[in-house]
A and B are shown apart, each in its own frame.
Chain A
Amino acid sequence: MSVLVYIQTLEGKATKAGLEVASFANKMNAGDVTALVAGSLSGDGELGSVGVSKVLHFSESATDNSQLSKLTHAAANSVNASTILFSGNIEGSSVAPRVAIAMNSGYVAGVTCLPEGKGFTRNVYSGKATALVNVNSEVCVISITPNSFGIKLDECESAVESFSAEIGSQRVVINGFTPTSTDGSVPLPEAERVVSAGRGLKGPENWGIVEDLASALGATTACSRPVGDMGWRPHHEHVGQTGVTIRPDLYIACGISGAIQHLAGVNQSKVIVVINTDPEAPFFKAADYGIVGDVFDVLPKITEAIKEL
């Protein structure tokens, strides 16, 4: 029995999402953990720090999810893996289901905690319920919700081996990539802290106080749907149903009333802070901390207090 984890790297090191998935694999106690890396790798990519004993490195180019699926399938066979883990980010959830079909194995998406016996727990109904899912096949394919498990250090020696497999041709040609942020902030689905604002900000020219608070906290900025639709902020910042679903440790909502569609995208946040002039705003019912007040008055005070920490 062994566990295979598919790891994305950036400049040779495992990404935060990658280290989280490897930590999950290690803590499952389901056998040796092998990491599969396609792309840049320097040393062990820091994977030894989270209990990965072997790293398989595929150094040729593989970009299509069909190619990455074939590669993962081959690696899983070579280490006789009984569990194959992915991050539940966009790349993970485009490759993992393909692997499950190719290996005729059960797939559980968006797992949030370690399994109980054969059952994996995942969020369903946009965070309004959880499901315990049993897998009926010998091999199971799992994706982990980003920022749900965290990175758990467990130093070990990690052996790096080069790995090769027949992965077919590239059929989706990448012509270019445009990053959403140039300031180096963490993408929303993986962010640990998010500061979000809505129509209460009255206009795009007022976003400075939101950005100041986000920068003091090391947080990523987000917005409500009306704000994205009116073009005050880019679409990719829209959190909520039909936008991005997030799961940060801290979510601060400024001037957002908390419509049910918005809550569906943010209700898995660990701590929710709501700042709104309307004491009847429905968002207060879903919040851990609330301030009834004017964001133009309250936000600079909070930013100041954070800078003094």
Chain B
Amino acid sequence: MSPLAAHSGVNGPALVVLIVLFALVAVAGFLATRFQAGGPLDNLDEWGLGGRRFGTWVTWFLLGGDLYTAYTFVAVPAAMFATGAVAGFFAVPYTIVLYPIIFVFMARMWSVSHRHGYVTTADFVRGRYDDRGLSLAVAVTGFVATMPYIALQLVGIQAVLEVAGVGSTANKFLNDIPLFVAFIILAAYTYTSGLRAPAVIAFVKDILIYLVVIVAIIYIPAHLGGWDGIFGAAKEKMAATNELTGKPNGAFVPGLGQSWAYATLGLGSAMALFMYPHSITASLSSGSRNTIRRNAAILPLYSFVLGLLALLGWVAIKAGTQPVGLNGKPNPQLVIPQLFEDMFPGWFAGVAFAAIAIGALVPAAIMSIAAANTFTRNIYKEWLKKDATPQQEAKVSKIMSLLVKAFALVFVLVLDRQNAINFQLLGGVWILQIFPTVVFSLYTRWFHKYALLAGWAVGMVYGTVAAYKVASPATKHFGGSLSAIPVIGDLGYIAMSAFVINVVVAVVLSAILHAVKVPNGADHTVPGDYYADTDDPRVAHDLMLEDPATKPTT
């Protein structure tokens, strides 16, 4: 069978297995309302945070399912396959240094949110500075950065369907029906079950992913003659000259002048990840202050799997995988599904496709819930309807979660796929700009609220302009996440350069604003709030007296 022949026609067994597993997961999603059920699902604590009492293992599966998305599983090996270690393997140091970083600040975030009933980071900023403007900036950044991320999850599902042979280029409408069905099911159970749906589905997703990756990493290299040959083939491809650019295809290991790129991509992405609303939502749904710290020690197991998956991109080089889309054009994003289809028997290829497709559902659900919570708490309640009851909040959030997903679907179906990738890249640059406001403020109120706002604005503008100027063979603008670091001159992650500029602006302006004694807003939190735990007597007191989803009570 020639590599191209693999694209023609439907892979029957794979498709059957994929549909059966998908259906099972859909049923689980609807039944999830009963999972660790507490009160009625008519407020954000229950619908949007699963009752705030997930234990260590549920949180492990939920965060694992949330952070290691289908798109990651498709895009990281694709980057390895196309351009090598700098663009691809940085995902490994990224998801390692991530955990010491969240270990440090997430316990404080959990405690203060628990005591004040905060659902989003913008809630916290509102309480810390009593400033609607800064809170709005944080909320809008989170909301906007999340949208393309959801769209990319649908791109992940699309990649699988395309390789499985579903759809045709002849009829655009028929082509999109399977994605449409997947979307409707996802939207329906997220609406009814809230955060409990992805929590339950995450078990299935993670077990499938582990199974597929372990089988793939043992079975495929053994068929190709071992790792020596795989690394050899990758080294040869990366060193070869690219016809389009006249430069080498990519990096086998980061070479001279690429250390900054590799380091800033890893560190910057790690700092950015827990600024996304969906990471915060999954963290705040845990049942105690230390759940997230224990998880920081056991979540790296996923990073190990991600590293193996990254290397599958190079396994595909050795295997001679030809990722060609239904339209006949090469598309590196299809490399992992195509490798699975070429190497595995039909039914196991189906399991692998299901792992990726279901892997898209979990983060897409959590992201839409998190974006919806952000809208409800920090835009709807703050600006549109101040006296909204918890029931109205939950209702708005549920509807918003539908709208957010519908937008993502339209985004994927109408716009070019490249647009989703570009915006996701920009989203990463943007989301890191709220780091000073959110994380520094957990420790100190030395920073002035206007200085933080100014730093954020400067970082946003610098990052957007720098990203706009990056060209690649595929696209004229937003062609990548690297550009020359000011002062240093080597290539580095744009988000990190913008972040440093952001911090410098915030520090200088804070000093000036304090010197001329501009008031810095009222602080609704007290130092003890940052250490509160599950059985904190005041939380119990507040929960009994009033609804937790109401305003800060100090």
Does A associate with B in a complex? no
